[in-house]
Amino acid sequence: MRGLTKAMIGVCAGAVVVGSAIGVRAYEHRMDMPHSSCGSAGTHNLNSRTQLLSADPGALACFHAAAKRCRAASIEVGEGGVDTGNDHVFVIRPGGRPCQVTEFSQFSIFTGQIHRNPVTSTTCRLIAVTAQGVTMSCSGQRILIPASV
């Protein structure tokens, strides 16, 4: 019986060590939404014909200028409905040709409490920077970040 007890203690201790290692590894790979250097804007639908409802002063001009010159910048665009939302942060990485943009997004649902899904990311292709705004292709979907509200 004593041998069995020692074996059980060893197995339990091993499980705690392995469980701790897995927990740390999962935490190390958890991704947070990046900070938005230009500010934020809000819409109901983020697509090729995005119409913004609001934007921080200077946020759209900041992102537009950075995209035009392929300089480092980011903007957050909140997409909200009645009980769901999706936060997006578009990050311009300077120097590449074509200019590189990464979209980070996090879906949320409101059911008395806010439940957030993990942050995901995808690489976008900058298509055009015009007077209308910045157009990108992200996962095959065209997205417009307008130049004005």
The tens digit of pLDDT for each residue in 105-125 reads 999 998 888 899 999 999 999
pLDDT score recorded for residue 27: 34
pLDDT score recorded for residue 1: 45
Lowest-confidence region among 12-21, 36-45, 63-72: 12-21
Residue 128, H or E segment: strand 120-130
CA quadruple 116, 121, 127, 131: dihedral sign: positive
**Residue in this structure with the two tokens 């015009």, named with its chain if needed:** 130
Alpha carbon separation from 35 to 21, 67, 122, 148 (Å, rounded): 29, 17, 16, 21
| Integer Cα distance of 145 and 115 in angstroms | 26
pTM > 0.75:
yes
Distance of CA 27 to the CA centre of its chain: 17
* More confident site: 69 or 14: 69
Domain ranges of the chain: 1-30, 40-146
pLDDT score recorded for residue 95: 76
Read off the pLDDT of each residue in 55-76 and give the average, rounded to a whole number: 97
